[in-house]
Structure 1
Amino acid sequence: MSIIDQSKLSSLIHQKEGHLTRELLLSPGGFGLGKVPEKNLPDATTQMVCGFCGTGCNLNIHLKNGEGVCISPTTEYPVNLGMACPKGWEALSVLDSPDRAVSPLVKKSPNHWEPVDWDSALSLFTSKFKAIQEKHGDESVAFLSTGQMVTEEMAFLGALAKFGMGMVHGDGNTRQCMASAVTAYKQSFGFDAPPFTYQDLEESDVLVFVGANPCIAHPIMWERVMRNPHSPQIVVVDPRKTETAMQSTLHLQIAPKSDMPLFYGIAQLLIQKGYVDADYVREHTEDFDDFKAHVRDYPLERITTETDVSQEKIEQLVELIHTGKRVSFWWTMGVNQSYQGVRTAQAIINLALMTGNIGRPGTGPNSITGQCNAMGSRLFSNTTNLLGGHDFLNDRHRAKVADILDIPVDRIPAENSLPYHKIMEGILAGKIKGLWVICTNPAHSWINQGQARDILDRLDFLVVQDMYHTTETARHADLILPAAGWGEKEGTFINAERRIGRVKRIKRAPGQALSDFSIFKLIAQYWGCGEMFSQWSSPAEVFQLMKKLSAGQACDFSGIEDYTAIEEQGGIQWPFAASETEPPQQQRRLFEDGRYFHENGRARFVFSEPTRMPEAPSEQYPFVLLTGRGTASQWHTQTRTRNSDVLRKLYPNRIYVEINPEDAQKHSVQPNDLIFVESQRGRLKARAFITQSVQPGQLFIPMHYEETNQLTDAVFDPHSSQPSYKCCAVRIINE
């Protein structure tokens, strides 16, 4: 990335822009480059939700002259109860990075971008995308969204791209983390509905964590487990001896991707022993008899062979599920990021249903969300479903949305978008020529990185809209649009337990950077569809539209009056319909009445045969590569965490690979040796960390390092289209 000339940039910031651009930038709606009016400045301390993970902690932002200068966790907020992880403590510092994008940048030659004003940037944006559409059709352009923006911005982006600009295809990076859980919930319950509240972590007497390492990935949730007064049994199902497994009372160290047959075998044992809640199954579920017949093929002998777990441990877990009064099941990326993630998640859901462990305190099949606003993305990004959890294929849903938004119904696509990997394949096939990437980093995070980067370079025009101009994806961009980050804009997030929380502007974005909301408003004007979005005057007004869109849906939150109500009540979990007369309780779970969202009100047992690992170890590539979170101080592609001096000191700067001592001895690897790890797709060099945490024949590399996805294999769950990041065949080579 070329160094921006500061004198030129200063001139650009202060020069006069076109009348339309200037009017929008300085309008009262909050898009302005100008100073926040004194009357709008908050008090010395204000509160808002953290912008890193889906836990949704609340933070006190301490202000000086109206701007945030330091942070402390909010003690009374029902999520974090006065706790914060290292990322939360450092949330402000990453805003003051020299890597911030402070002006629109246009590529002039390879590895060289030059600053331009907003008028030039948006004129280029619209002319390029319109030219591609005119030549190749509306399906020749697409967008990739995020679980990192506020919900109001996600809704604006999805509506602008699909209703205003005529794009058919757009997906989000939540496809990489939550798609399998979303699909599992939809098929089993009738709606994407995580049933739990965080209080359940303190109410359970048996907690089963599957492919989840909350000690590292969600440390505040783990703190809630540590507050549990019931001396709970903590079970971990994971190939690695993770930090969470080290704290467990029972660790089932399974063979990679053998979790689905494990749970089918456990279901068979529960049935054999008479440990099924027959009343609950009869009154609230369907298809149990078919499921019962299916799991007969999973006797204990088969399960011990396929999972490498002893009969004793499997039977011990079965007894814990039976004797536990409040059993909860928790899973995250170890389940979701799989070629059979949906059915594995449903194997967990089935265990909760057949034992009646749902709808009561301390129970539930509970998916742990990754990104800060993945739930907002799932409901309102206008990608995998129509705004508010509606269906693009449903005539009635399209008419409802068109009426609320006051737009012609024929502007709403009557077909679903291509999923993320099909968009990438469309670029490779030459069918998609233009791509708009907003607040995400696929050149780092997408599976089979070498191919992903080659695909991005094949585009006629790539726009990257981000708060940093140095992301791996920005290195491929033709146009970079500088966006405000968390703390520099207004809106809401929805966390893993369905709690809607506030985000506030407590700091001015640097240079010419604008909130994503402001950028979308400008693009609508430049595109010529600004009148369609006249109701979308501010995030607060869009929140009111979102309320209307949610009405009558499972996620109905039409009863929330406004942003002030959210703050006063410590966040509000959906559903909370306008028909409810009493203020909502702070901790609420779904399905307390045993009614689900299918038309008949029943939950479904969904199952199928496990499939073979797509790329199993071989003589040439004898190791299985596992990936996952490295430390509590790293986050995703490190776009933000590497911009904190404090956080960088809390995790290894250089990429490392965990290897079992038995394998290290066999391959003459010493501690801290530099070795090559190679798959059929790429090779990386990493420092060896010899540890019993991984089993023989397995390696582990944290996902946060740029090189990791050079190795991973581009295979996908057939139901959710989620990438399978967690297993591929690799070998090691001594340097």
Structure 2
Amino acid sequence: MIPQLEDLLHARQGPMTSELVLRPGDFGLGRIPARLKPAATTDMVCGFCSTGCSLRVHLNERGQAINLTTNPHYSVNQGMACPKGWEALTPLSAPDRVTTPLLRNPATGNLEPVDWPTALAAFVKNFKGIQERHGKTSLSFLSTGQIVMEEMALLGALAKFGMGMTDVDSNTRQCMATSHVAYKQSFGFDAPPFTYKDFEESDALIFIGANPCIAHPIMWQRVMMNKHNPDIVVIDPRRTETAMAATLHVPLLPKSDLVLLYGLANLLIERGAIKQDFIDAHTSSFADFASFLREFTLDRTARETGLPAETLHRLVDIIATRERVSLWWTMGVNQGHESTRTAQAIINLALMTGNIGRPGTGANSITGQCNAMGSRLFGNASSLLGGYDFAKAEHRSHVASILGIDPALIPDRASLAYDQILDGIDKGSIRGLWVIATNTAHSWINQKTFPAIREKLEFLVVQDMYATTETARMADLVLPAAGWGEKDGILINSERRLGIVKKVSRAPGQALSDFAIFKLVADAWGCGHLFAKWSSPEAAFQILKELSRRQPCEFTGISSYEHIDRSGGIQWPFTDKDAIAPTPIHERTSTAHPERERRLFSDGQFFTPDRRAKFLFDQPRPMPELPDADYPMILLTGRGSSAQWHTGSRTDKSDVLRKLAPRELYVEINPIDADRLRIANNELVRVRSRRGEADALALITSTVQPGQIYLPMHFDTVNRLTFPAFDPHSRQPSYKACAVRVERIKKR
């Protein structure tokens, strides 16, 4: 048997008590941690979105989770939770959990149960065979922003340094690549500057392509706690739930954001409403930016955005006259064909008005998945572990010295992006794919292309909690993985706060944590010695902590998981100098313990070589697929309900969440268009694009403008329609706008 597997499975199947003594070969993942007392409670952060709420898990006398409430003392959510958080334990007991490895039988074509030694042998035989036939670079993985930081890092290190993969990526590319690149280019490092307290401290909050009422409800509750009577501005083509609650909705034409932001910047300069002292002391390239802006006149901005001059002047008045302005964006910006420059146009507005580094200010990207921030730092794809640069020999040597490996094992370039990896499969250069905790067959743009691409793979491995996802059903090998609440580790939330996840439930059957699976793969592959120091998630955390030293994301002042737990989460940077003995969170006040809220750039010093933030800009480009006579409408997509999450692989397991969320795909249609097309409310209609079609119930509403429709992204047919355009800097897909038509089918 593979070394350590017998010990791991023995402990994995043993009794569920805190007194269980494990054999040395166990990775510390086969038990409820000894720090948890029977019939007790323990706090841990939620594993759905990037808000990072703390949930109080109630345990029986065996240390098994039986229920949860919320943590009233945690600074993020302060005792609140959205519907997903309240139901966080439910997906763990779903009847379709995969409980043993599944290997496709070539004789029957079916996925059939096998034991772990057989599964690992099939993994190694097939993937090594592909490399022998097609070269080292013929393997790739697509991972996730949903697993813990230590697992992400071990996977990236194993794949690149142990298995010889060069090109790997995660589904973070679908949601947060734009913010990562925008911050890195503008600030010198991927560094969201804010803390959630800024929601409460702003005089004006401007949300651009963001709908926190639905996507991040607890963040929206923090906005509602603002006592400054703030202006709340929502810039969005659709009248979202957040826009309905705003003091000003700015319904611009789809994908005219960049023109709007440049026009606002020009009007602010003309008005003299910029902070020249801040610009001169802390930024570069402003003169070139100001010259570039002159062509974005009021008339051009109004014409190309579809907004009246009065609305533009009102928006400029808010930015110019409020002392503390915060600008917030998420997928409506990130998922666009020119998304990086759009995000940087938001950053430029904050810089030129001095709205950064002070309470209630900032150019603030709201993250999507629970650990997308961890993926951005330690996914080992677009940057080397810890934010280092693959292309720099000194960075490779430094990382290798910490890991105790030969620098020659580290590639000298960053990975290809998600879309380029799929293109590589299509062209035959990549023949083996490992998919971890994501559902590409459902979520990828222009979805109907994926089954054809999959057929060109010689071997597909899917590692997931469920064998019922669209991608898992296509696999040659399914590896059963533990989920949130069934393992230990760290998640990093939108405000850079490291939060703890704990094992409070045993994964079913033979399912193992992703960390344990990666260790077993390393041993089976023959490179386990490279990762001997990665003996447990917390041991891996200590390695990552050292990798963070002297980086902007440094967290060397954190001594242990317990330190994070005691402190109620800790925001990076948190160096040795910051490491004071934390007071238990329930004994604190935010004024007495400022380490609870740590925003960046209060000193005006950025992470670029000259310590100045950069103004970056480009000419706007038209939407890649414009409406025409055949497809005269624009499709918008977004979140549908706070009870839904991504492709529904977890939220659909909860009867409660399914009752709270729409059960059938619906399409929002403006009454003018509905009348023109003779479509009645609740009538079944067909939405067509040049790539596919989706049937949906018509919802006649003025939340969308004439000529536009809206579909919630969670349903499996929506991405049959979307157009595969990609931002040239971040390679993030443009899910938010494409040309479609709507047809009647029949009355219900």
TM over 0.5: yes
2:547 aligned to which of 546, 549, 570: 549
Alignment of 1:15-26 (within 5 A): 20-25=4-9, 26=11
1:568 partnered with 2:571: no
Task: Quote how far apart the aligned CAs of 1:36 are.
Answer: 4.5
Look up the match of 2:214.
216
* Cα deviation code 1:119-170 (max 9, x no counterpart): 0000000110000001101111000111000000000000000001111110
2:45 alignment partner in structure 1: 49
Query: What percentage of aligned pairs have identical amino acids?
Result: 59
| One-letter amino acid of the counterpart of residue 592, structure 1 | S
Matched, 1:641 2:641: no
Q: For residues 255 and 522 of structure 1, what CA distance do their matches in structure 2 show?
A: 52
1:659–1:688: 8 Å Cα contact kept in structure 2?
yes
Q: Report the Cα distance in structure 1 between the residues aligned to 2:536 and 2:665, rounded to whole angstroms.
A: 43
Q: Distance in 1 between matches of 2:177 and 2:204?
A: 27
- Superposed, 1:432-451 pairs within 5 Å as 432-451=430-449
Task: Find the aligned partners of 1:254 and 1:190 in 2 and give their Cα distance.
Answer: 31
Q: Could you report, residue by residue, the CA deviation over 1:619-664 in whole angstroms, capped at 9, with x for unpaired residues?
A: 0000100000000000011110001111000011111111111101
Tell me the residue number matched to 1:62.
58
SS at match of 1:443: helix
1:493 counterpart residue number:
491
- 2: CA distance between counterparts of 1:42 and 1:727? 52
CA distance in 1, matches of 2:49, 2:603: 30
Find the counterpart in structure 2 of residue 351 from structure 1: 349
| Superposition pairs of residues 8-157 of structure 1, within 5 angstroms | 20-25=4-9, 26=11, 27-28=23-24, 31=27, 36=32, 41=37, 44-64=40-60, 65-108=62-105, 112-157=110-155
Question: What is aligned with 1:586?
Answer: 596
Q: 1:195 aligns with which of 185, 193, 196?
A: 193
**2: distance between equivalents of 1:713 and 1:723?**
9
Can you list the C-alpha shifts for 1:652-700, whole angstroms capped at 9, x where unaligned?
A: 1111111111101111111111111010100111111111010000010
CA drift of 1:30 comes to 5.0
Q: Distance in 2 between matches of 1:572 and 1:92?
A: 24
Over 3 Å counting, the alpha-carbon distance change for 1:111 and 1:358 in structure 2 is: farther
- Find out whether 1:685 has 2:695 as its counterpart: yes
CA–CA distance in structure 2, aligned partners of residues 76 and 287 of structure 1: 44
Asked whether the equivalents of residues 36 and 42 of structure 2 are also in contact (C-alpha less than 8 Å), the reply is no
- Pick aligned residue for 1:273 from 271, 274, 280: 271
Superposition map of 1:610-689 within 5 A: 610-689=620-699
Q: 1:681 to 1:515 in 2, by over 3 A?
A: same
C-alpha change, 1:333 and 1:19, in structure 2 (3 Å) is: closer
Give the unaligned 5+ runs of structure 2.
12-22, 582-593
Instruction: Return 576-585 or 405-414, whichever deviates more.
Output: 576-585
1:39–1:201 Cα change, 3 Å? closer
Q: Which residue of 2 aligns with 1:12?
A: none
2:339 is matched with 341
CA distance in 1: counterparts of 2:629 and 2:579, whole angstroms:
66
Alignment check: 8 A CA contact 2:2 2:524 kept: no
Which residue of structure 2 lines up, in the alignment, with residue 733 of structure 1? 743
Q: 1:213 to 1:695 in 2, by over 3 A?
A: same
User: Aligned partners of 1:631 and 1:591: how far apart in 2?
Assistant: 35
- Matched residue of 1:169: which SS? coil
Q: 1:74–1:37: structure 2 CA closer, same or farther, 3 Å change rule? A: closer
Distance in 1 (CA, whole Å) between partners of 2:729 and 2:35 is 51
Correspondence for 1:602: 612
Which residue type is aligned with residue 539 of structure 1?
A: P
Give the aligned partner of residue 396 of structure 1.
Answer: 394
Deviations 1:36-76 (A, max 9, x none): 58776566100000000000000000111211111111111
User: d(CA) in 2 for partners of 1:19 and 1:531?
Assistant: 12
Aligned position for 2:15: none
What is the CA deviation profile of residues 349-395 of structure 1, one whole-angstrom value per residue up to 9, with x for unaligned ones? 00000000000000000000000000000000111110001110011
Task: Give, in whole Å, the separation in 1 of the partners of 2:277 and 2:328.
Answer: 24
1:213-243 per-position Cα deviation (integer Å, ceiling 9, x unaligned)? 0000000000000000111100000000000
- Work out the CA distance in 2 between the residues paired with 1:408 and 1:35: 34
Q: Summarize deviations over 1:568-613 as a string: whole Å, max 9, x none.
A: 1110000011233546610010000000000110000000100111
Aligned counterpart in structure 1 of residue 156 of structure 2, from 152, 155, 158: 158
TM-score by length of 1: 0.96
Shift, 1:94, TM fit:
1.0
* Cα distance between partner residues in 2 of 1:36 and 1:295: 59
Compared with structure 1, are the counterparts of its residues 167 and 691 closer, same or farther at alpha carbon in structure 2 (3 Å cutoff)? same
Contact 2:32–2:503, Cα closer than 8 Å, also in 1: no
Question: Match of 2:587?
Answer: none
Whether the 8 Å CA contact 1:33–1:512 is kept in 2: the answer is no
Aligned to 2:457: 459
The answer for the alignment partner of 2:330 in structure 1 is 332
* Partner residue, 2:19: none
State the shift of 1:18 in Å. 5.7
Matching of residue 699 in structure 1 with residue 709 in structure 2: yes
**Preserved CA contact (<8 Å) 2:205 2:232:** yes
Check 1:136–1:538 CA distance in 2 against 1; reply closer, same or farther (3 A cut): same
Q: Matches of 2:38 and 2:721 in 1, distance apart?
A: 48
Q: Pick from 722, 726, 731: which aligns with 2:732?
A: 722
For 1:7, the equivalent position in structure 2 comes to: none
Q: 1:393 touches 1:416 (CA, 8 Å); kept in 2?
A: yes
Q: Which residue of 2 aligns with 1:307?
A: 305
Paired residues in the alignment total: 719
Q: What secondary structure is seen at the aligned counterpart in 2 of 1:663?
A: helix
Tell me how far 1:416 sits from its aligned partner.
Answer: 1.5
Give the TM-score normalised by the residue count of structure 2. 0.95
CA change 1:43–1:491 in 2 (3 A) is farther
Offset of residue 478 of structure 1: 0.4
CA apart distance, 1:23: 2.9
SS in 1 for 2:463: strand
Contact 2:33 2:503 in 1 (8 A): no
The residue identity in structure 2 corresponding to 1:23 is: D
> 1:511–1:263: structure 2 CA closer, same or farther, 3 Å change rule?
same
- Give me the whole-angstrom Cα distance separating, in 2, the residues matched to 1:545 and 1:34: 22
Q: Select the residue among 536, 541, 545 that pairs with 2:534.
A: 536
Is the 8 Å Cα contact of residues 31 and 515 (structure 1) preserved in structure 2? no
When residues 264 and 644 of structure 1 are mapped into structure 2, their CA distance, relative to the original with a 3 A threshold, is same
Preserved contact between residue 29 and residue 487 of structure 2 (Cα < 8 Å): no
Counterpart residue number, 1:524 = 522
